[in-house]
Amino acid sequence: MDRTYEVAEYFVSINGEGPLAGQLAVFVRLKGCNLACEYCDTKWANEPDAAFTAMTAEEIHQAIKETGVHNVTLTGGEPLARPHIAGLLEELVADPELHVEIETNGSVSLAPFCRIPNAPSFTMDYKLSCSGMESFMDTDNFSLLTQKDTVKFVTGSLADCERALEVMKQFQLIGRCHLYFSPVFGSIDPADIVEFMKENHLNGVNLQIQMHKVIWDPDRRGV
């Protein structure tokens, strides 16, 4: 019997964050997460009784192809913690027309997935104090990142910005991969992050605003 994956939703929208922000992407949201961040905006997909559609890797691939969109974002929840996720990744990255990105919360080792031929790009969170989850971060992942990958620091305060800078320096992340400050929606003024970046001469670091929360209602699903 073919393995199936619990797909909470899939849809086409613009990529709201990261290097491909503003470009069309197919989002495939897998059910379930191993963390419980304070600011999580997809808690509904992490509940044990959350609705899902069971789909094989081949069915997910076909659904993506039918959209005509080439950028693919696997998200959650925590997709890398889902059973047999390597099989789905191998199916998708073998398609030369697709650019596959996986959003991960920073608690799961990337090592097994970096060994996949034509491995996807990783957009990895580093959870700061506003999440309540920093103790779960796997910092060994930093040494596995390349210039196609991204680290996102979701910040809810200037103290979070200070801690993010400590992490960047400790693990020599500037120049290794894409780096983003991403303000918790409604918790910190993005202008304060800009001032922090100016004061600390943060060349090679980006501020991003979650475009999908500006364009649509911040609580709207499927965008």
Task: Give the mean model confidence (pLDDT) for residues 209-222.
Answer: 78
Torsion on CA atoms 92, 94, 98, 100, rounded to nearest 10? 50
Residue 16 confidence (pLDDT) above 90: no
Task: Give the mean model confidence (pLDDT) for residues 44-70.
Answer: 96
pLDDT in tens, 74-104: 999 999 999 999 999 999 999 999 999 999 9
Distance separating alpha carbons of residues 102 and 81, to the nearest angstrom: 12
Task: Give the mean model confidence (pLDDT) for residues 175-189.
Answer: 94
Burial class of 192 by CB neighbour count within 10 A (0 to 12, 13 to 18, 19+): middle
Distances from the Cα of 186 to the Cαs of 103, 111, 193, 205, in angstroms?
22, 35, 13, 22
Distance separating alpha carbons of residues 56 and 61, to the nearest angstrom: 9
Distance separating alpha carbons of residues 136 and 2, to the nearest angstrom: 32
Binned at pLDDT 50, 70 and 90, residue 223 comes out as: low
> Strand 71-75 relative to strand 24-30: parallel, antiparallel, unpaired?
parallel
Residue 67 confidence (pLDDT) above 70: yes
Q: Among the CATH numbers 3.40.50.2000, 3.30.1490.190, 3.30.70.1880, 3.20.20.70, which is that of 4-215?
A: 3.20.20.70
Residue 219 confidence (pLDDT) above 80: no
Domain coordinates of the chain in residue numbers?
4-215
Instruction: Please tell me whether residue 108 adopts helix, strand or coil conformation.
Output: coil
pLDDT the model gives residue 34: 95
Residue 197 confidence (pLDDT) above 70: yes
H or E element at residue 206: strand 206-207
Binned at pLDDT 50, 70 and 90, residue 1 comes out as: low
Least confident among 7-16, 116-125, 190-199, 210-219 = 210-219
pLDDT the model gives residue 218: 73
In the chain, what percentage of residues exceed pLDDT 70? 99
Structure tokens at 107: 């608690």
Tokens 């959870």 map to which residue?
127
Task: Give the mean model confidence (pLDDT) for residues 44-73.
Answer: 96
Tokens 């620091």 map to which residue?
153
Distance separating alpha carbons of residues 71 and 11, to the nearest angstrom: 12
Tokens 């600011």 map to which residue?
39
Could you check whether the bond before residue 77 is cis, i.e. omega within 30 degrees of 0? Answer: yes
Residue 132 confidence (pLDDT) above 90: yes
Residues 6 or more apart from 155 whose CB is under 8 A from it?
Answer: 128, 130, 161, 164, 181, 182, 183, 184, 188, 193
Amino acid at 205: V
pLDDT the model gives residue 210: 82
Query: Mean pLDDT of all residues in the chain?
Result: 94
Binned at pLDDT 50, 70 and 90, residue 222 comes out as: confident
pLDDT the model gives residue 137: 97
pLDDT the model gives residue 10: 96
Tokens 């910092």 map to which residue?
139
